[in-house]
Structure 1
Amino acid sequence: MPRAARGGVRLGALMAVLLVLATLGAAPASAAGSEDKATRFHVDFELKADGSVDVTENITWQFPSGEERHGIERLIKVRAGYQDRQDTYRLYDMSRVSAQSPSGAPSDVSTSSFGAYERIRVGDPNRTVSGTQTYVVRYTLAHYVNGFPDHAELYFNLVDTSNENTYENVSATVHGPAPVDRTDCFYGELGSTQRCQSSPGESASFSAGTVAPRQAVSILASLPRSAFGSLEPDLREGAVTDSGEVVATGTARALGALSIGAGVVLPVLAAALMGFLVWTRGRDERYAGLTPGLTPGLTPGLTPGLTPGMAPGTAPGAGQQAQVVRGAAPTVAVQFTPPAGVQPGMLGTVIDETANTVDVAATVVDLAVRGHLTMEERDRSGFGHHVDWMLRRTESTREDRSALHLYERRLLDGIFAGRDAVLLSELKNEFKPTLDSVQSAMYDEVVARGWFRRSPRAQRAVWTGLGQVLVFGGILGTFWFGSGLSSMMAGSGYPVPPALALAVGVVLAGAIFWLLGRRMAARTAEGSAVLAQSLGFREYLVTAEASQIRWEEAQEVFSRYLPYAIVFGVAEKWAKTFEQVAAAAAAAGHTIVAPWWYAGPGGFGSFTHLASGMDSFATTAGGTFTSTPGSSGSSGFSAGGGFSGGGGGGSSGGSW
């Protein structure tokens, strides 16, 4: 301890250690008298001819030292399931409850229902007790003795499995209207067949020694059937749940009908609601009557969208109007240039409604093409072939930032973070916060440009999130609450388990919200126009022919359009076109200048190598950007019928 203190242990930790040491030091002296337990527990049973049982419990209780206690409590089981019937339970009506304390402790009695049990509290809530006290608790249980053709039987849990205390010197005696001719005794955890001591006679005796918490003692006493009356059990309509509550048959059927109905209706309602929302809000808007990719003429300075005083379904600008409808646009025409002012990252976001890592990586390449950084491909040492990229600032990165959008500035700041050069591999495990910030800014940007009314991610998140909650909630709820719900509706009588029907319905409804919620991100008419132009430009990148490209413009065109080709996944096709351009130019004695912003291990190499390298960069960057440090009533005498905890009723308890 002194060494730890000298090492700078915080005061809270020091106090905790001192407390543990103090507790350990005090334990030997106080352990013997601190346990809350029964040091003696003896029960007398007087069986009556009508099947009732007078029970007298003689208890010596040791209260824990240093803690306030008022007395003892007994939990007597008075309700139990009956055979395999799910619409009937058995009642052992309890009456004539009394208590006294030979040691002089307060012995006031109060009773209350506690699930399948009746709770008997002995003591005064305004007075405390300590040390060791003795109590005598009496009560009568009606209709308890079981009747069989050849014998009558008492099968009682002397200590119930719900017991949470230690019981020492456990014993019992059984008297009846005739001598007890056969006995048995079991103890241990629920289901144990380990026997304890018992002997029949005029007064049958039982002894089990010490019983630990969560262990039970069950006694069986057989008497002649002729010594009793009818011995009909007191059966009531309803079912006893796992928690001991009684559910009437009518209630169980109503709950079952409600659960099955909900299991059927919930998916139907979910499908109807999501179908309506997807049809009315989840489909893209577009300008009717205009060629895909075109928008109504705009007055200079106005932003796409409705202006005050204009009716829905119209678009502003120079007296032109266009009706806005929902639905897929017709086939687009080839566009020879990307949409004006639409950067590759924005184009990728509007195409698939997601600002993914490919869009961010393509933005890095686009910033390089625009002069804000250079990219040098390097071979890394080590086993196998590893490629890395050195990213370097240019002067324009420091000086000219006014033309950059917020997401581009955040991206550059996150990559360099005050340094002039960095290897892509050095960003591993540290770039994820920057990526999240960049993606958030990209979503804000597409909303600001009027392509979406809300962030596509936010539009999807509400419904997919609700779906996930229902799916996982339905599955987990089945494990956590399925047993309890099933027991509540056990007597409903339906061929399909109502709790299962409800769980399946909730999961199906959640799956519908989850799947269809992905379609809730919808573009505005302006966004659909940009999409049409983008898809038309993709057709050009795929179908462009070398003969259409002028040699003197080849290097600039290749570099400028390469980030878009990366977003579309056609960089290799775009590069092959320029290999043909370069070959034709070389045959005519013309040299196409290599891109200034890129350098390979052996120089420029070729357009195909550069495109392949940029594809590899986008893939590697995607993994690097997202990496985080944490990512690297039968007879007990029948064959097999008797066991500990198997009695129809029983008792347990402790102090309060």
Structure 2
Amino acid sequence: MLAKWGAAALVAGVLAVAQPTAQPSPPPGPTPGQPSLDFPVPPSGEPSTEPSGEPGTGPGAPPSQIVPRSVNLALRVEPDGRLSVTEQVFVHGVAGMTRHAALRIRAGDRDRVFTIDDLAIDGNGSAETTDDELILRLREGVTTVKYTVDGAVGDVGGHQQVRWQLASGWDVDLRQVRASFAAPSPPENVVCRAGRQGSDTPCESAITDHGQVLRVVQPDLPAGERVDLQVTLPGGTVGANARFDEVARPSAFAITPVSGIGLGVLALVLVGGFGLLWLARGRDTRATATDIGSVEPLVEEGGRVAFASPDGVLPGEVGTVIDEHVDVADVTATVVDLAVRNYLAVRRTAAGWTLVRRNPADAALTGYETAVHTALFRDGPEVALAGLRVDLAPVREDLYASMVRHGWFTRRPDRERTRWTVAGALLALVGAVTTVVLALTVGHALLGLAVVAGGLGLTVGARLMPARTARGSVLVQQVRGLRGFLRGDLAAVPAADREMVLSRSLPYAVVLGESTRWLAHLAGLERVYWFEGDLAAFPEFLRELDAAFAASGQLR
């Protein structure tokens, strides 16, 4: 009998040795009403790769749910409002994975603040928290991280909202994010968003199962993007612990990167614009700054000496070429020139100064000279300076037009100034409105002020916009030389030609401010043909004529 039992024992022992060791079985599925990681950890704790055949086949193959760079989470809201979180991360590759999860999330004009407690890690890596981040540094293998979140539950309009970002701040693309969420009461509403911060893209799947456990699935999440879960529970389900910090908004007029770039661009535009303007005006600046000698305007014709202006410029045009404005002095000099050329005479009577028409306007007069002649003698052959009112608008228009017609300016200087002044004013107005709008909305109001400054700069620079042509700049130099002639000695002028030379050059002396010196030369003459009175009273005539034209209000 003993021999038989001994033999049986020996056979059993041999069979026991030959029998393969049993494989560990996966843990049972999730208990209803409880969150779970939804898949077991591989038996060896080592990272696994899928075999070449069907997933999950072959001896020792891991469950099919485990894929490289996957994150599984189990979340549960505790009665006191804390959120218990278990994260299981499958890291594949020696480079590892790192997560910087923000613990401050913008919520309107405030920051929602979360706190991490009871942080523990089981696996190949490290975990830590700072005031603003949860930081995970994981290496190859499957690692489980557990922690609780304080600040996830808030009371909102008779309900409670639980918010936590299931995945955020990972430095690699995640192939799969899965999460299960359970709370003491079933969810009333679920909002799950995936993608960049602030995006409204819904998660791939967020479904509550028969056990009232919410299960979320999000495949293919790019590095740096987030899965943001917000679950609404009935009011009073758990303790509320949400915390918010008011965000100190910078002053609307603070220097920010955006406003700094805008100010830099404005500075470049202003510097570049004024640089181009300086180049355009450089010829004019050199023309007025260059020291130039006296210009000799006297010419001999048939044995007689006559006066000839540079480039044929008329007295009324001289002032406009120099200062780019039609002034009262330009029209006054034109009246004197018309008297010298025998189109009118200046007479002094007991009642005051009177202009007398001698010849009608003809083809020898330019457009603006004809306009002056017509304005003076519109009501008869004689006009008294006392109470004289004339329409000088046609004079101004024709005189500006003659600047372009003669090729001294590329464009009418008055219209060019007006165009740029209006553009600058409109730009400043747009900048002012933009400043107000930005200050009341997104900030960066300095951008609006930059536009205002640009508009004001354009308005100031508008006075310099009209650039003379090369011919105009040469004429400016010649006119300056003409002033030297007017200040010189006329001893070389023959006596027979003195009256004509002095008279023809007097209008130029008037417009260039040299009339007093020039009248000293005329005082040696007994009389002049165009002035009926004592030449000593000529300055008085000029003052009253200037006053009469200034009273029109059309010239400065």
Higher-Rg structure is 2
- TM-score of the superposition, structure 2-length normalised? 0.49
Higher relative contact order (CA 8 A, sep 6+): 1
- TM-score of the superposition, structure 1-length normalised? 0.42
